[in-house]
Structure 1
Amino acid sequence: MSNPTEFRFEGGRDGVLLIHGLTGTPTEMRILGKGLNRAGFTVVGVRLAGHCGTEEDLLATTWEDWYASVEAAAEELRGRVDRVFVAGLSMGALLALRLAAVRPDWVDGVGVFGATFRYDGWSIPWTGVFSFMLPLFKRLGIGKNRVFIEQPPYGIRDERLRAQVSAAMFSGDSEAAGLPGNPWDALAEMVKLSRDVRRRLPDVVAPCFVAHAADDDVASVANADLVARRVSGPIEMLLLGDSYHMITIDRERRMLIERTADFFSRVARDARPARMAA
């Protein structure tokens, strides 16, 4: 693969595509990927366009570019496996849902982890009208060089892990832990992606495993409830009580791995007779 942060773990004929969040890196999905691989899945962690580089690299891309990265990785993976599952964290969850809506024949199941349609968690000081206006600000050139610097707890409840991640994030090594802040223009693209995926949720017919931290500091549980209400496919929910937003690396990551592997395995098992009959 083209970037050292991307990963591929070879396994069986059921594949999982993992998608990181805005300003994040595939590293935040690696532990989950290893766990799913141990459960027998072939796993790919994609790097979204513009990520794992500089702020300028990110600002040179749009949400359509980020989604194009997902679709290209999914197309490559589906050529090597019988079934494709897709799972994402935060903005990555929205991209996973969009793939399932746009390419229903490609996606057998979706993992929706910490879905972020709105940044409305308890640690976020700006919500509602202001975030809604970011696309307008971008069109008008307002705040072009402005950045929302992330604040503690950085989506991580485990204090020791939080210290490690924040040190890497502010060290300037964006490949390890992503950028330390969200540029306004990138957030404007995120708002536009959110609007697009909201409209498409009824087109998601694949089974969805929706996992969210009950005390999410970045995106409230209302985001998960939106998915559960709007998608057309069957839903299984998991609320985690000892994690914050970054549930793929926080205290309950092992539970998330086990439940995700179980969900995808059951979907694959139930799909086999129908695929064989077809």
Structure 2
Amino acid sequence: MQDIFLIGHRPPVLLLHGLRGNPLEIQLLAQRLHRAGHTVSVPYLSGYGQRPGDCAPVLPWQQWESLASERLAALVADHGPAAVGGLCIGADLALRLARRDERSVSGLLLISTTLFYDGWNLPWFRRLLPLLPLAHPTPLRHRYRLREKDPYGIKNVRIREWIARQMESTGNSAAGARDLPLSAIYEAYRMMRRIRASLPDITQPALILHAAEDEMASLRTPNLLAGRLGSSRIEKIIFTNSYHMLTLDNDREGVTQACVAFVDALERQQQPAAAQLLA
């Protein structure tokens, strides 16, 4: 579960894993983008992600953003402006980078973006959200953990069983960690509110990919993104044969194809602009 860094000859892509997740969640997408010629960076962010042997405490969301921004700056310094994407809260972080590091971000790959925890598998979870600010000053948010449960974000039964075995044996999997600390949810909740308020200020082209049956975040999120982003170009695709973990589930091939096509289009769009600057 180390960082993934693949050198190519075409514009770079930064991909961010989900909350308490790891780079394996988006490894297939990274490989397909690299096969198309792109330099791809998928960093593991300690204090935000989770992998065996990492005992780092959950960091405040502002530090998640700072860690991701540092990785973006290093990538851009060597390879130029990057398309930035992510899965779930990783997509939220991509939106934050687009606002914070505007000139470094050429476009957005927003996969299973979560700006509301309101999916069909979370009725009990939704009731906790109004209480999270009250839990902030107490030890509760550091001690309480929510355990992942079936279907683990996966509609494909075979892949779901594989993920369940990984979680049971190691506490981690290609779909993320088995346990989610309340403190991590609290920080994500705070970041979501900030992102929702800033959507009109985000102007980069955006690709929005979401599952119709996402059990973590309903179609309210992609609809909000499509309606409120200030992006110059927005594409939205809703997949019908997967749950939350789009990069691992039945529609993973469609997801990778859409991302490769979108990044290729970004490159074609940037070439005339670069030629004008050199003229």
TM range (shorter): over 0.9
Indicate yes or no: 2:133 matched with 1:135. Answer: yes
| Worse overlay, 237-246 or 74-83 | 74-83
User: 2:153·2:214 contact (CA, 8 Å) conserved in 1?
Assistant: yes
Structure 1 length-normalised TM? 0.93
- The whole-number CA distance in structure 1 between the counterparts of 2:118 and 2:56 is 23
Partner of 1:46: 43
User: 1:146·1:184 contact (CA, 8 Å) conserved in 2?
Assistant: yes
Count of matched residue pairs: 275
User: 1:217·1:244 contact (CA, 8 Å) conserved in 2?
Assistant: yes
Map Cα deviations across residues 142-199 of structure 1 (whole Å, 9 max, x no partner).
3431111111101001111111112112222537553202111111011111112112
1:29 partner letter: I
Indicate yes or no: 2:21 matched with 1:24. Answer: yes
- The whole-number CA distance in structure 2 between the counterparts of 1:68 and 1:81 is 20
Displacement of 1:46 after TM fit? 1.3
| Worse overlay, 106-115 or 195-204 | 195-204
Task: State the Cα RMSD in Å.
Answer: 1.8
Partner of 1:235: 234
Q: Any idea what SS the aligned residue of 2:79 has?
A: coil
Partner of 2:6: 9
1:123 partner letter: N
User: 2:3·2:43 contact (CA, 8 Å) conserved in 1?
Assistant: yes
Change (3 A) 1:114 1:255: same
Q: 2:151 aligns with which of 150, 153, 157?
A: 153
Q: 2:60 aligns with which of 52, 59, 62?
A: 62
User: 1:132·1:191 contact (CA, 8 Å) conserved in 2?
Assistant: no
User: 1:46·1:69 contact (CA, 8 Å) conserved in 2?
Assistant: no
Displacement of 1:249 after TM fit? 0.9
Partner of 1:125: 123
Structure 2 length-normalised TM? 0.93
Indicate yes or no: 2:144 matched with 1:171. Answer: no
User: 1:148·1:182 contact (CA, 8 Å) conserved in 2?
Assistant: yes
2:77 partner letter: G
- The whole-number CA distance in structure 1 between the counterparts of 2:128 and 2:269 is 45
Q: Any idea what SS the aligned residue of 2:169 has?
A: coil
| Worse overlay, 172-181 or 194-203 | 172-181
Identity among equivalent positions (%) equals: 32
Gaps of 5+ in 1: none
- The whole-number CA distance in structure 2 between the counterparts of 1:230 and 1:169 is 37
Change (3 A) 1:236 1:22: same
User: 1:135·1:189 contact (CA, 8 Å) conserved in 2?
Assistant: no
User: 2:107·2:266 contact (CA, 8 Å) conserved in 1?
Assistant: yes
Change (3 A) 1:129 1:202: farther
1:49 partner letter: S
User: 2:46·2:54 contact (CA, 8 Å) conserved in 1?
Assistant: no
User: 1:100·1:107 contact (CA, 8 Å) conserved in 2?
Assistant: yes
2:109 partner letter: G
- The whole-number CA distance in structure 2 between the counterparts of 1:96 and 1:238 is 18
User: 2:19·2:90 contact (CA, 8 Å) conserved in 1?
Assistant: yes
Change (3 A) 1:161 1:90: same
Gaps of 5+ in 2: none
Displacement of 1:54 after TM fit? 6.5
Displacement of 1:82 after TM fit? 3.1
- The whole-number CA distance in structure 1 between the counterparts of 2:190 and 2:78 is 32
Runs of 4+ in 1 over 6 A off after TM superposition: none
1:148 partner letter: L
Displacement of 1:128 after TM fit? 4.1
Partner of 1:206: 204
User: 1:135·1:185 contact (CA, 8 Å) conserved in 2?
Assistant: no
Map Cα deviations across residues 175-226 of structure 1 (whole Å, 9 max, x no partner).
7553202111111011111112112211211000000001111110111111
User: 1:217·1:245 contact (CA, 8 Å) conserved in 2?
Assistant: yes
Q: 1:34 aligns with which of 31, 35, 46?
A: 31
- The whole-number CA distance in structure 2 between the counterparts of 1:151 and 1:174 is 13
Displacement of 1:126 after TM fit? 2.5
